Amino acid sequence: MGRLTGLVALVTGAGGGELGGGGAGIARALAQEGAVVAVNDLAEEYAQATVEQITGQGGTAFVLAGDVSDPRRAQEMIETVVERYGRLDILVNNAARLGRSPAVERMSDEEWHSYIAVNLSGPFFMSRAALPHMMRQQYGRIVNIGSLAALRASLNGGAGYTASKRGLLGLTRQLAAEFYAYNITVNAVLPAGILSGRMRAEMGERAEALVAARRWALPDDIGKICAYLASPEAHLISAAVIVVPGANATGLGDFAQYRAMARQIGKDIGE
């Protein structure tokens, strides 16, 4: 019996199985804690890879393909889960547009709008569709997967990525304020970097060094944090912004590195 036994979850952008990223890790972690998990991704076969991994480990999951940036499809996906299981308790908004983009002066209108559509409008559409069901049952957990770029800037994704992830923090806090009275919590998890299974296989020893130094997280690390936030035990935590790994949020690295740098410039920071 896991802490999520009897609960029903939907995780967006959760395909890929063993080679997947944070979404796959979140889906696995929720299933391991006993939740029934609807695994969403754009491509049905990509979502199926995670479903097969979960069911192969004794969990319960099913494919729910669809584009979260389409408000009609977002509503249909939520209704599908509720019709199938009678409830929806947990929504993890993980789907995102990633990848390199040009600098602002070369960014097209279409590219800008695509980041906002997937990374910000998608979580809004999915949450809007889920909230009436959560309100009715007086229980809900929404976890929005953001990025450290929301607090700093993106070295990879550009203005559209950074702005959309910053907007997701505002959405998180607004939803948390509006729905806490219904026993619905809304929190944001901001990975500084996630080593997907595919990246880990391609990078080899470099990937292992990042993990060992606790600079990047593995997909299941993110999953375990989300599983706790999705549980009844976390009922007092809402509007929280959790950076993983946390040391990267300072922009300085961990304190040992900061102390060494400070000593080089003659700053007295104590022991």
Annotated catalytic residues are 161
**DSSP assignment of 135-166:** HHHT-EEEEEE--GGGTS--SSSHHHHHHHHH
Beta strands in the chain, from DSSP E residues, in sequence order: 8-11, 36-41, 60-65, 90-93, 140-145, 184-191, 241-244
The single residue listed with the structure tokens 């961990």 is 254
Alpha carbons within 13 angstroms on the beta-carbon side of residue 172 total: 28
Specify whether the CB–CB gap between 122 and 74 falls below 8 A.
Answer: yes
For residue 208, which amino acid is it? E
For residue 245, cis peptide bond before it (omega within 30 degrees of 0) = yes
Residue 267: alpha-carbon gap to chain centroid: 38
Residues whose CB falls within 8 Å of the CB of residue 52, separated by 6 or more in sequence, listed in order:
17
- Take residue 150 and report the two structure tokens written for it: 């929301």
> How many Cβ atoms are within 10 Å of 16's Cβ, its own excluded?
25
Residues whose CB falls within 8 Å of the CB of residue 138, separated by 6 or more in sequence, listed in order:
182, 183
